Amino acid sequence: MVTFHLDGKACESRPGLNLLQACLEAGANLPYFCWHPELGSVGACRQCAVRQFSSPEDQTGRVVMACMMPVTEGTRISISDPEAAELRESVVEWMMINHPHDCPVCEEGGECHLQDMTVMTGHHTRRYRFTKRTHRNQDLGPFVKHEMNRCIACYRCVRFYRDYAGGKDLAAFGSHDSVYFGRAEDGTLENAFSGNLVEICPTGVFTDKPFSEVYTRKWDMRGAPSVCVHCAVGCNIIVNSRQETVRRVLNRYNGEVNRYMLCDRGRFGYGFVNAPSRIRTPLLRVDGQHVSVSEQDAMAAFARFVGDGKIFGIASSRASLESSFSLRELVGEEQFSTGETQQAQNCMDLARTLLQSHPGHIPTLHNMESADAVLVLGEDVCATAPRLGLALRQSVRQASFHAADEANVPRWLDEAVRTLGTDCPSALYILTPAPTDLDEIALESSRAAPDTIARIGFAVAHLIDPTAPAVPDLSTSDTGLAQRIATLLGTAERPLVISGMQYGSPALMQAAANIAAALARTKPQAGLSLSLPDCNSMGLAMIGGVPLEAVIDKAVAGEISTLVIMENDLARHLDPVSLSELMNAVPNVVVIDHTASSCSERADLVLPAAAFTECVGTLVNQEGRAQRFFPAVVATPPVRPAWRWMTAIAPHCAEQKPRQDLVNWEHEDDIMAAMGRGIPALAGAVNAAPGSSYRFHSGKIRNETSRMSGRTVIRSHVSVRDQPPPPSPETPFRNSMEGTYGPDLPGALIPYFRAPAWNSVQSLTRFQQEIAGPLRGGDGGVRLLRDHSPSQPGITEDVTTVYHYGADIPPPFLPRNGEILLLPETRLFGSEELSMHSPPVVARSSPAVLRLPETDVRPDRIELRIQDVSYLLPVQSMPGLAHGVAVYPAHMTIPAFAFPRLVPLNAIKPDHTDGGAS
């Protein structure tokens, strides 16, 4: 630590920070615009002026920009210096020259950094008396609204969009006092992280378009700490609601996971909770038609169904631990299915086993950003785990940071670091069947079929550790590639190997684990990361259960009379033939879900479940981190959390075990306790967040702001009585503006960010132990998988234990005549189930096309035969796709089928005009 003097007061600071960070960490109010903890300093806005003195004797000093100067031992600065203060006020005055006075109708109002900074500088009276410059706004697509007149030209948007996120279609145009931040022409922002502009922009230029449709002020919304449900990364989010409807999703900082950014699927995918496809009442099949029935009737029907006791439950990788575990308790371990196919379950189990036995490091997303060599082995992380892809974009900057360190340039001096790093090579290798968005920043990207990639991976592991199995008959070019990769990873300090389930290939994940384990022999920081498909895939793997194939066998054998399918559209897992087989073999099908699906449509009884915005639940992300979401709205009966349906059903299942416990559950806490006893691997999950009995400063935490307006009048058209806040016995929150709140809140329980004088998301600095570091109340979540790297305290296990390398090396893939290896093309928008009920995400998805390698002239359509069903698919060539391979967006037109598989292709003549499945 160094001591610096701020207006005569001695303050402690970490060495190497810039003065702005040091002042903010010291609790001072120093206004700024262009600096962002994740983007560094560029000195553009000139807002953070302070006076710096060269010595205790120096009375003159000079005005400097705090963000551009490093803090060193003995640094003496003054914020209150009149000239510095005058400059800060002038800067806001200049920004205000062209800024419209539209705060009352601006959607940023009340959470606007510009408003806060204006107040902070003391600027209040307009002296500029000439006309304002105006701009034309653009239509930027379904996610982001554009109001350029509000722009203060801090350049944050383009620095985030282009430099940080790799976007191409947003730029600064024009010059002098008419700089324009937008696209070359109207059109949808193409980058997968465009929604972050809403939070990056310090004022109202970029605002949340879907939120605009249901707009309400920040201070009028309830906030719930939550976890994104649209992939397995587990980004932390805040869900905002008013009048018991969800209004928007914001980023919730977690220093180890998503930090400052979300992907657009995560930010805009929540729309399914408000969609017409929501199931809001119990539905009973009467004469072949679903009719809405009361809870009592639904329970009575259920009791009839389970009369003979042959009940079976199917859980889901998108349901919470609480829901899945309660279903398992209801039906018993033997009658419980994961809801996954054997193949998917094998992959999930393998991923869990490989991570658990990995002798090195299981990196967090934040760790991945500082990996100094990365190998992506057969996974398009930009589509399956988008936020992880953004982390990898930062990892390729490690060499330039190193160059900056050598040149004594602080890492936060953004432009200098980027200039110094112009020639710094990337240390990212990508081996995938199809091109990915990260190829442009890779040192080398190579295309091959999954089996071939796995073979190269096994070969890399063998090159690093000769005791790892060797690959016979590897081609010369693949051997060369493996050698280059092995050299790169072998010379890194913090190498990282990434694979996943996208292509359904256990060999790929095993090969990745072999490499990571081989590296870990000499580098304890060697990381392994495996991407899983859904928000609770890892949690489900930890709970366990039988695969769907076993359910079908039992059903066909007549051993199931009632099948309870919870939060799972089986049509996404089973091909139509198998699904029909299952449905026809079971007399009574009960579906518990929040969203209608082809599966719920075939059910005899449908029970409405709460969505993640309406209940408490715990998810385990792909790194094994258990994290809890809390309700932003109160579920309207009969909608209730799936587990509450289990407790309601339990008394009707007279014959079966271990109901008694289930019947007595009152709170989510009770489930977590029971789960800890029943599944030791998940015992730690109880600590994902403090339980319902937690009190902050002796009180329950308010999840509405102290400025909430309208509580007493919002229902005055119904009743003039003051309504008590809806009770929330299951959480440590009060659904009210009364309650406790503060910057020391546990990270898992922060409902919104706000601090005195800081009303925007920039108030986050007040909640962090150090800027861009952990939250003061601790980053949320608890890791359930052991990490063997020495950076994790408390782990004493002997890491020299012999590692058992996987040796199941597949034969090389050879392209065949008339057949093609069909692989899933996972899409950011289109592949994930729930977000495809969200209108803006649907608007961003594009039609499904079968993509084939770029070869000769192709017909417009190709006939694809899968299990005697023929599909006519539009065709496009995809430059760079591996030979002999085709990709198709999973789940978009063809219901589930097992990827990968070899399928015969019949070219259809161009004059054949029938579309879709036939």
Binding site for another protein (CB under 8 A): 42-47, 49, 62-65, 68, 86-87, 90-91, 94-95, 97-98, 127-128, 130, 152-153, 155, 172, 174-179, 407-409, 413, 415-416, 419-423
As a three-state string, the secondary structure of 526-558 is CEEEEECCCCCHHHHHHHCCECHHHHHHHHHCC
CB of 630 to another protein, least distance (A): 41
CB of 256 within 8 A of CB of 626?
no
Whole-angstrom Cα distance, residue 580 to residue 549?
A: 13
CB of 179 to another protein, least distance (A): 4
Vertex 426, ends 422 and 431: CA angle to 5°? 150
Alpha-helical regions (H) of 465-547: 476-490, 506-520, 537-543
Tell me the one-letter amino acid at 908. Answer: I
Nearer to another protein, 52 or 345 (CB): 52
- Our CB check for another protein shows the closer of 85 and 683 to be 85
Strand pairing report for 782-783 and 819-824: unpaired
> Is 238 in contact with 227 (CB distance < 8 Å)?
no
Report how far residue 386's alpha carbon sits from residue 264's, in angstroms, rounded to the nearest whole number.
Answer: 9
How far, in Å, CA of 824 to CA of 917, rounded?
A: 18
- Of the pair 44, 799, the CB lying nearest another protein is at 44
Q: Which is nearer to another protein, 154 or 745 (CB)?
A: 154
| Closest CB to another protein among residues 416, 682 | 416
Structure tokens of 728? 């929330």
Residue 826 is inside which H or E element, if any? none
User: Given the complex with another protein, which of 150 and 628 has the nearer CB atom?
Assistant: 150
C-beta of 94: minimal distance to another protein in Å?
4
Residue 494 CB, nearest approach to another protein (Å): 24
Q: How far is the CB of 418 from another protein (least distance, A)?
A: 8
Q: Which amino acid is at 487?
A: T
Amino acid at 842: V
**Quick one: 177 or 738, whose CB is closer to another protein?**
177
Shortest separation between residue 181's beta carbon and another protein, angstroms:
11
832 token code pair: 């994930």
**Residue 420: CB minimum distance to another protein, A:** 5
The nearest distance, CB 96 to another protein, in angstroms, is 9
Q: How far is the CB of 66 from another protein (least distance, A)?
A: 12
CA distance 166 to 872: 36
Q: What residue type is assigned to position 231 of the chain?
A: C
Q: Which residue, 62 or 136, has its beta carbon nearer to another protein?
A: 62
Closer Cβ to another protein, 97 or 892, answer by number: 97
Which position has the token pair 């694809």? 864
Q: What is the largest CA-CA distance in the chain?
A: 93
Residue 90 Cβ vs another protein, minimum distance, rounded to whole Å: 6
**Rounded-to-integer distance, Cα 177 and Cα 94, Å:** 10
Tell which residue, 258, 249, 257, 231, has the closest CA to residue 317: 231
Residue number, 408 or 817, with CB nearest to another protein: 408
Q: Residue 744: which H helix or E strand, with range?
A: none
Q: Which residue has the tokens 């198709």?
A: 888
Of 181 and 458, nearer to another protein (C-beta) is 181
Partnered with residue 820 across adjacent β-strands are 903
Q: Which CB, 94 or 215, lies closer to another protein? A: 94
402: which 2 tokens? Answer: 């190193």
In this structure, what token pair is assigned to residue 774? 């952990």
Transcribe 483-497 into DSSP letters. HHHHHHHHT-SSEEE
Measure the CA angle with vertex 881, ends 877 and 882; round to 5°.
Answer: 135
Query: CB-wise, 98 or 597, nearer to another protein?
Result: 98
Q: Tell me whether residue 43 or residue 742 sits nearer to another protein (CB atom).
A: 43
Q: Which helix (H) or strand (E) is 180 found in, with range?
A: strand 180-182
What is the closest distance, in whole angstroms, from the C-beta atom of residue 713 to another protein in the complex?
42
The least CB distance from residue 34 to another protein, in Å, is: 9
- List the structure tokens of 583: 């449905």
Q: Name the residue nearer to another protein (CB basis): 175 or 693.
A: 175
Shortest distance (Å) from residue 184 CB to another protein: 14
Nearer to another protein, 417 or 454 (CB): 417
Smallest separation, CB 130 to another protein (Å): 4
Closest distance to another protein from the beta carbon of 419 (Å):
5
Which residues are registered as beta bridge partners of 902? 821
DSSP 8-state class, residue 709? -
How do beta strands 605-608 and 283-286 pair? antiparallel
Count of positions (residues) in the chain: 918
**DSSP 3-state assignment of 674?**
helix
Least distance in angstroms from the C-beta of 60 to another protein: 12
The smaller minimum CB distance to another protein, of residues 98 and 835, is found at 98
Return the number of other C-beta atoms located less than 10 Å from residue 249's C-beta.
27
The CA distance from 761 to 769, in Å, is: 16
Q: Minimum CB separation from another protein for residue 370, in Å?
A: 21
At 314, give phi and psi (nearest 5°): -120, 120
HSE on the CB side for 92, CA within 13 Å?
26
Closest CA to 646 of 659, 628, 655, 657: 659
Pairing label, strands 2-6, 9-13 = antiparallel
Cα distance between residue 408 and residue 81, in whole Å = 30
Residue 71 token pair: 């803090």
Nearer to another protein, 423 or 868 (CB): 423
CB 742 within 8 A of CB 714: no
Minimum CB distance to another protein, residue 158 (Å):
9
